[in-house]
Chains A and B, each alone.
Chain A
Amino acid sequence: MKKIEAIIKPFKLDEVKNAITKIGIQGMTVTEVKGFGRQRGHTEVYRGAEYKIDFLPKVKIELITPDEMVSQVLETIERAAKTGKIGDGKIFISPVEEVIRIRTGERGKDAI
C-alpha cells in the first residue's frame, strides 16, 4: 500500500476529485494548506499600501491505495491537476505499513 499526497491548485480540486472517483478510489482527505515552492509569494499593491501574499493557498489531498493502483492514480492526478504553469503542485508517494478500519478492526487492503 502507498500513501499518495498531492499538493494542487485550489480550483483543480473538483476536477481531481471527479477523475479519482471515476477510477474507483473511494475516499480521500482534503486539507486547505498554504505554502510556497518555486512559485514564490508576491506583493500586491492597493492605493499605495502593500499587501503581502507570502504563502500561496493550495489544496492537499491524501489517499491510500493498493500498490497495483498507484501508477493509475498518479497518472490521473497528474492529468487532472495540470495547467502547465508554475505552481501546479507536487505529488509525494510513500509506503504505508498498515491500515486499520477502527469500526470493524479490518486490516490491510480491506480497510482502505
Chain B
Amino acid sequence: MQSNISTTLLSFPKEFFRQNSEMMDGLVRRVFQEGQSEISFPSVCLMAVGGYGRAELAPSSDIDLLLLYSSSQKEKLPPLIEKILYPLWDLGLDVSCSSRSINECLKMAQSDLHVKTSLIDGRYLDGEYEFFRKLYGLFTKKVLHRKVEKFAEALAQDLHLRHEKYEDPTYTLEPNIKEGKGGLRDFQVGRWIIRAKYKTDRWDSILFPDHSRMLDKSLEFLWTLRNQLHQLSGRKQEDFSFELQEKIAPLLGFSNGTEGIEEMMRQYHLSTERISNFVNDVLDHVLHDPSPLRKALFLFKRRRIDKNFRMAYGEIYFQNSLIFKKDPTQLMTLFGYCQAHQAKMDFRMEEAVLEALPLIDDRFRNSEKVNQTFLSILREGESVETTLRKMHELGFLSRYIPEFSEIEGRVHYDLYHVHPVDIHSILAVGELGKLREGCYRNNYPLLTSLIGEIDKAEILFLATLLHDIGKGREGEHPLVGAEMAKLIADRMGLSLEDRELVDFLVSHHLVMVETAFRRDLHDEQAILRFANQVKTSNRLKMLYLLTFADVKAVGPEAWTSWKDTLLMELFLKTSHFFEKGAVAGPFLKGDEMIQKLRESLSSEIISKYADHLPSRYLSCYSSAEIAHHIEMARSIEKEFLLVEWEIVKEVQAKVTICTKDRYGLFSKIVGSMFLNRLNIIEAQINTWEDGVVLDTFWVEDSTKDLDRRLEQLKKDLGKILSGNVLLKDLLLTGEEPNSIRKKVVPKVPTEIRVNNEDSDFYTIVEATAEDRLGILYEIAQVLTDHGCDIHFARISTLGNRIVDVFYVQDAWGEKIEGKNRVDQLKRALSRLVLKSGNESNQ
C-alpha cells in the first residue's frame, strides 16, 4: 500500500517513519479491534516486532506482528488471525503474524537468534497490556541480559556469513543497503548488542559524541536511500542497482549525470564504512572484555615494549592514558609497534587514538620522527596493508595526509572499478606487500623477484598509496595527483631525488598500461618511446610493480593472464634496452630533434612525418639535413627515385638516395655503385616507418671522375628499380674490373657475427673483412638471398678493413632465428669474406 504521506518526507526519514508508523498503527489497531469484536477472544495482546516494532517503516517494509495469548485459548486463534491478516493483505501490505504464548516466546528466544532479535524491538500495539509487560520483564531478565557474550558471538557469526554472501564485487558496485557490509542490518546488530550489554538504546554512551553524530547522519542517509528505493520500485527493493542509482541521485539533490552518482555513492561508502566500524567496535568491546581470570593472567603475560606501551595476548596497551596529549608523535610510534609486533590495539587504545586525532597538526605532519616512522612502516613492515587499513579506519591516515580525505569513498560510476578510490589505493599497497612477502612467488615469479631488486621500496609504496590522490579534483588525475604527491613528499621531508621519483610514478601510472595494451610491442619505436619516458631501469621496475598493484587492486577480475603477458613483454623489452644501453645517449635526443624541426617545417608536415622517423635515424643527422630529407621524401611521391650528391675534395662524394622501400633495395644500390666503380667508404641506411628509404653513402673514386660516374649511377639505378633492366645483366656487360692491383697490405682478420641477443626486433649481422671493390654488394646479395630485409646499416672503412653492421628482419618482420637459418647465413658470409681475403692475397 502506498501511503498518502508526502514524498518529500522520504528524505526526512525520521519524520517519515513517525508518520508512516502512526498511520500503520491506526490501521492495524482498527482491523484488530474489528476482528476481536466478531470473534470474542478477550485476553490477547497485539505487538509489533522487528523493523515495525522499531517504527522504522520504509514505504514497502514488512509488517511483522505478534499475538500473545494465554495457553488455554489456542483453538480460537486462527480465525482471529485471519480477520486481522486478510484485510491488510487486501491492501497489498506484506504482513506476517505469528502467535505464541509467553512461555513459547521465551523458549524460542533462547534458541532462535531471529526470534530473540525481533523481540528486542517489540512494541505494544493493542489488547492485553499485562501480557506485554510480563513478557518483557521475563525476556530482558532471563534472555536478553544473560550470556551476552554468546549472543554477540552468534550475531558476529551471522554477520560474517551475511558479509561473505555479499562479498562478490557486483555487490560493491550495486550494494544491498540492508544486508550488505555496513548496511542497515549491521547497524541493528550493533544496537542489539548495546541493548543487551548496557541496557540502553543510546549508542553514544559508548561512543564519542562526535562519532555518534556522524553515525546518526550515516544512518539517516541509508534510511533515505531505502525510502527512495522502495518508493521508486514500488516494492521492498534493497538492491541499489545502477538503474536506481541513476534515478535517485537527482532526487537527493546530487547533480545530474555521472558526477552526481559518484558523489552519492561516495557518501554511501562513507556511511557504510562508519556503520561497519561502529558494529566492529561494539563487537570488539563485548567479545574482548577480559574475563576476571584473564585479567589476572594478564598481569603475568604483559610485557614492556617501551616506557609508554605494553603488550599482552597480541594486543598493545598503554601504560599511561595521557601519552598522546604529552607527545602526539607517539601515535605514529604506536602504529609502528602494531606492525612490528603484528599486534592489534586494545580497544581502549583505539579510543585514545580517536581522542587524540585533533592533536595531529602541521607540526605533527612535518615532524621528522613521525615521517621516518611512517616511511619505515612502508619500507620494512610485513602486513603493511593491515596497518594502513587500521590508520584509515581510525581516521588517522586522512589526518596525517589530509589530501587522502578527498578520495575517501569516491567511486567510479562504471563496472570496472569495484572499490572506492581510498580502499583501492590501500589494496594496491597491499598487493605490493603480498609480492614482497612472496605470496605470488608461483604465479608471478618475475614481479616477485623485481620487488626484491628495487632501491627505496618505501618510495614505491608511498607512490602507490598516492597514485590516485588526484581523483578528487578537476583535471587529469595523474598530473593533478603528481602535484599533490610532490607536496606531500616535500612535507614528509623526502630528498629531491625521491620527490622526483614519486612525481614520476604518480604522473606516469597509466603510461605502462596504455603502451602495453594499445601499442605494437613488436615495433621498436613504441618501445623506444616508452623507454624515453621511463629513462632508468629502477623506474621501469617500479612502474611495472605499481601498474601490477594498480590493476590487481581494481577488482578480482581486472588482472588477467592476457594483461599479464602484455605488460611482462613490455617490461622485458624495455628492460633489454636499458641493459644494453641502447636507449641511453643519442636515442634520447629524438624528441629534441623533432622540436628543432618545428622551427623550419610547417606543423602539418611535422605531424605527417614525425612519427615515422626512427630515433636511430634522428640521432645521425643534423636538423637541416633531416629537413632536407623530408623535402626529398615529399617529392618521391611523384618521382620514384631521387639521387643527390655533393663532391668533396674531388675524389669523394656524399650521395643521398631517397626512394620507396622494396625487397633487395640495398643490394641493388650497392650493386649499381659497384658497376660504376664507386668504392663505398661509409653508408647509412635508414628505413622510415612509412616505407621511405633514405640512404647516405660516402663514395670514393680515385680517378676524379665522380660527376660522370654518379650521373651514370642514377641512370642505372633508375632502370633497375623500374624493372627495365636486371642488375645481373648490367654487371655482366660492365667494364672489366679495375686492373690496377692494390699494393700488399697487412692481412685483416675476418669475422662474421650474427647476433640475436642485442635487439628484440632485429637480427644484427656484423661483418669485419678486408676491403675490396664490390664486397658490400656481395654481402648485401648474400643477405638478400637468405631472406634478410635490411632496415638499417652502418658501413665504415678503416684503412683496408671494412666494418659493416646490418639490422635485418625477414619478410615477416621477424628476426632471423633458428640455428639452421643462422648457421647457413653465417657460413655463406664467411665463405664470401674469406674468398675476398684470398683473392687479395694472390
Give A residues with C-beta under 8 Å from B: 9-11, 14, 32-34, 39, 44, 46-47, 49, 51, 53, 55-57, 83-87
Q: Contacting chain A: which of B50-58, B274-282, B565-573? A: B565-573
| A86-B814 in contact (CB<8A) | yes
- Residue of A46, A49, A55, A84 with highest tally of chain B CB at under 10 A: A46
Set B446, B812, B814: member contacting A51, Cβ < 8 A: B446
- Write out the residue numbers on chain B whose beta carbons fall within 8 Å of the beta carbon of A47: 449
Does any Cβ of A come within 8 Å of B631's Cβ? no
Residues of B within 8 A of A (CB): 445-446, 449, 517-522, 560-563, 565-566, 568-569, 572-573, 575, 812-814
Nearest A residue (CB) for B523: A83
The reply to whether A33 and B517 contact each other, CB–CB distance below 8 Å, is: no
The interface residues of chain A lying within 8 Å CB-to-CB of B563 are: 32, 57
A32 contacts which chain B residues (CB < 8 A)? 560, 562-563
B572 neighbours in A (Cβ, 8 Å) = 44, 46, 51
Provide the bound-state CA to CA distance between A84 and B813, in Å. 8
Whether B812 contacts A86 by the Cβ 8 Å rule is yes
Contacts of A10 in B (CB 8 A): 517-518, 566
Given contact pairs A10-B517, A32-B563, A46-B575, a sample of 14 additional A-B residue pairs in the complex whose CB atoms are under 8 Å apart: A10-B518, A10-B566, A11-B519, A33-B562, A39-B814, A49-B449, A51-B568, A53-B565, A57-B562, A57-B563, A57-B566, A85-B522, A85-B813, A86-B814
A46 with B522: CB separation less than 8 A: no
20 pairs, A vs B, C-beta closer than 8 Å: A9-B520, A10-B517, A10-B518, A11-B517, A11-B520, A11-B521, A32-B563, A44-B568, A44-B573, A46-B446, A46-B572, A53-B565, A56-B565, A57-B562, A57-B566, A83-B520, A83-B813, A85-B812, A86-B813, A86-B814
Query: Hey, which chain B residues are within 8 Å of A33, CB to CB?
Result: 562
Q: B414 to chain A: closest CB distance in Å?
A: 16
Which of B446, B522, B561, B569 is the one whose CB lies under 8 Å from A87?
Answer: B522
Q: Which residue of A lies closest to B445 (CB)?
A: A49
**Complex: A83 Cα to B813 Cα, angstroms:** 10
- Inter-chain contact total with CB atoms closer than 8 Å: 53
Cβ–Cβ contact B565 & A34, under 8 A: yes
Separation of A95 and B519 alpha carbons in the complex (Å): 33
Residues of B with C-beta under 8 A to A87: 522
Among A14, A34, A44, the residue within 8 A (CB) of B569 is A44
Q: What residues of chain B lie closer than 8 Å to A14, measured between beta carbons?
A: 518
Find chain A residues with CB under 8 A from B517 CB: 10-11
> What residues of chain A lie closer than 8 Å to B561, measured between beta carbons?
34
Chain A residues positioned under 8 Å from B814 (CB to CB): 39, 85-86
Q: Report the bound CA distance from A50 to B562 in whole Å.
A: 19
A83 to B521, CA, bound (A): 12
B565-A57 in contact (CB<8A):
yes
CA distance A44 to B760 in the complex (A): 9
When distances are taken between beta carbons in the complex, the residues of chain A under 8 Å from B568 are 44, 51, 53
Pair A53/B812 contact, Cβ less than 8 Å: no
- Report the nearest B residue to A41, measured CB to CB: B565
Interface-central residue, B446, B519, B565, B568, by most chain A CB under 10 Å: B565
Question: In this complex, what residue of B is CB-closest to A53?
Answer: B565
**CB-CB nearest in chain B for A87:** B522
A47 to B450, CA, bound (A): 10
Residue on B nearest A46 in the bound complex, by CB? B572
CB distance from B576 to the nearest CB of A (A): 8
Name which of A14, A83, A85, A87 has the most chain B CB atoms within 10 A of its CB: A85
Q: What residues of A have a CB within 8 angstroms of the CB of B518 in the complex? A: 10-11, 14
Q: Which residue of B lies closest to A34 (CB)?
A: B562
Query: Which residues does chain B contribute within 8 Å of A56, judged by CB atoms?
Result: 565
Residues of A with C-beta under 8 A to B522:
85, 87
- The distance from the CB of A25 to the nearest CB of chain B, in whole angstroms, is 21
In the complex formed, the residue of B with least CB distance to A51 is B446
